[in-house]
Amino acid sequence: MSGPDPAQIDAFAQALRRSERVLFVTGAGISADSGLPTYRGIGGLYERDVTDDGVPIEVALSGEMLERDPTLCWKHIHQIESACRGAQPNVAHRVIAALERTHETWVLTQNVDGLHRAAGSQQLIEIHGNVHRLACTRCGHRTRVDDYAALAIPPMCPDCGALVRPEVVLFGEMLPLPAVTMLGRELERGFDLVVSIGTTSTFPYIAGPVLQARARRRATIEINPGESEISELVDLRIRSGAASTLAAVWAALGSGPLP
C-alpha cells in the first residue's frame, strides 16, 4: 500500500482548519494497524460465509441463535473477542481522540473492539456496542471483561444465574436506542466536515452522515484503500491506510509530537 499523497494530506489539513464540528465515521479498517482483521462479521471480524458448525455466520451470530443455542452463539462471540484481545489503539485512534482538544470532534464507529474509547475519545457513538461490556439477559447485571479467556461458554449471571450476553448488536437485532438518539441529535446539529475511514458504508446509518453533509454542501473525505458505497461521492478520496494518513495530517497541522 502506497503512502498518502502530500497534496491530499494538505487538503485534509486545510479542511480541518476550516471546520469546528467534525465527525469521523469508522469501520474495521481503522483497527487494521492495531492487528485486527478487516473481514466480515460483527465488527468486521469473521472471514468465511459458513462457520465450522455448518451455519452462516449471520445465523451463528444472531439474536435468535443466542436464544436457541447460546453455546454455539457464544463460541463465535468468543472468537471475535479473541481477535480483539491485547490490541491497542493505533495512531489513527489517538489522533482522532487528540483532535477533541481543538475541534468539537465526534466518532461514529461500527467497531466493537473498544479501541476508540481506549484511545481517549469521549464524544463516541459505538453504534454496534462494545464486546468488552457484558449484561445479564434477566436482571440487567452489567460488568466489563477485558479478556474472555476465563469465561464459561456460555457465561451465566453471578447474581441470578441467567444467560449473560455481550452488549453488541447481533445479526437481526435493533440498534441501541440511546446510540441512535445521540446520532440523530448530532446530525441534526450538523457537521462542517465528515470523514469516513475504513468502512464499506453499506449500512444506511453509516453512509448517511456523508450523504447528509454532501447535501448540505459540507466537506466530505474518505480514507480507504478499497472501494466503498460513498467513494465516488466524497470531495476528497485518500486511498491509504488510516494510521499513515492521520499521522501525516497531524504533522501537517503542526500539532507537535504524535499522540
In a domain, 179, yes or no: yes
Which residues neighbour 217 within 8 Å (Cβ) at sequence distance 6 or greater?
none
Are residues 248 and 151 located together in one domain of the fold?
no
Q: Is the pLDDT of residue 92 over 70?
A: yes
pTM assigned to the model: 0.93
Q: Is the pLDDT of residue 38 over 70?
A: no
Given 93, 128, 132, 141, the catalytic residue = 128
Are residues 155 and 244 located together in one domain of the fold?
no
In a domain, 79, yes or no: yes
In a domain, 51, yes or no: no
pLDDT, tens only, 149-190: 889 999 999 999 999 999 999 999 999 999 999 999 999 999
Are residues 153 and 248 located together in one domain of the fold?
no
Are residues 181 and 70 located together in one domain of the fold?
no
Domain end position, chosen among 120, 146, 168: 168
Predicted pLDDT at 46:
52
Q: Is the pLDDT of residue 147 over 50?
A: yes
Which residues neighbour 3 within 8 Å (Cβ) at sequence distance 6 or greater?
240, 244, 248
Domain end position, chosen among 120, 153, 168: 168
Structural domain of 63 = 57-85+134-168
Are residues 97 and 222 located together in one domain of the fold?
yes
Reported confidence tier of residue 49, pLDDT bands at 50, 70, 90? low
Reported confidence tier of residue 48, pLDDT bands at 50, 70, 90? low
Name the packing angle between helices 177-189 and 204-215 (round to 10°). Answer: 10
Predicted pLDDT at 255:
86
In a domain, 41, yes or no: no
Are residues 75 and 187 located together in one domain of the fold?
no
Are residues 183 and 75 located together in one domain of the fold?
no
Residue with the larger pLDDT of the pair 95 and 45: 95
Q: Is the pLDDT of residue 43 over 60?
A: no
Q: Is the pLDDT of residue 198 over 50?
A: yes
Q: Under a CB-based contact definition with an 8 Å cutoff, are residues 19 and 190 in contact?
A: no
Are residues 100 and 159 located together in one domain of the fold?
no
In a domain, 115, yes or no: yes
pLDDT, tens only, 218-249: 999 999 999 999 999 999 999 999 999 999 99
Are residues 247 and 164 located together in one domain of the fold?
no
Q: Is the pLDDT of residue 85 over 60?
A: yes
34/86 Cα distance (integer angstroms): 9
In a domain, 1, yes or no: no
Are residues 68 and 28 located together in one domain of the fold?
no
Percent of the chain residues topping a pLDDT of 90: 78
Predicted pLDDT at 4:
87
**Average pLDDT of the residues of the chain:** 92
Give the CATH number, domain containing residue 67. Answer: 3.30.1600.10
Q: Under a CB-based contact definition with an 8 Å cutoff, are residues 222 and 234 in contact?
A: yes
What integer is the mean pLDDT of 58-76? 93
Predicted pLDDT at 203:
92
Domain count, the chain: 2
128 catalytic? Reply is: yes
Reported confidence tier of residue 45, pLDDT bands at 50, 70, 90? very low
Q: According to the 3-state scheme, what is the secondary structure of the chain?
A: CCCCCHHHHHHHHHHHHCCCEEEEEECHHHHHHHCCCCCCCCCCCCCCCECCCCCEHHHHCEHHHHHHCHHHHHHHHHHHHHHHCCCCCCHHHHHHHHHHHCCEEEEEECCCCCHHHHHCCCCEEECCEEEEEEEECCCCCEEECCCHHHCCCCCECCCCCCEEEEEECCECCCCCHHHHHHHHHHHHHCCCEEEEECCCCCCHHHHHHHHHHHHCCCEEEEECCCCCCCCCCCCEEECCCHHHHHHHHHHHHCCCCCC
Are residues 194 and 247 located together in one domain of the fold?
yes
Domain end position, chosen among 119, 152, 168: 168
In a domain, 64, yes or no: yes
Q: Under a CB-based contact definition with an 8 Å cutoff, are residues 219 and 19 in contact?
A: yes
Are residues 201 and 76 located together in one domain of the fold?
no
Reported confidence tier of residue 251, pLDDT bands at 50, 70, 90? very high
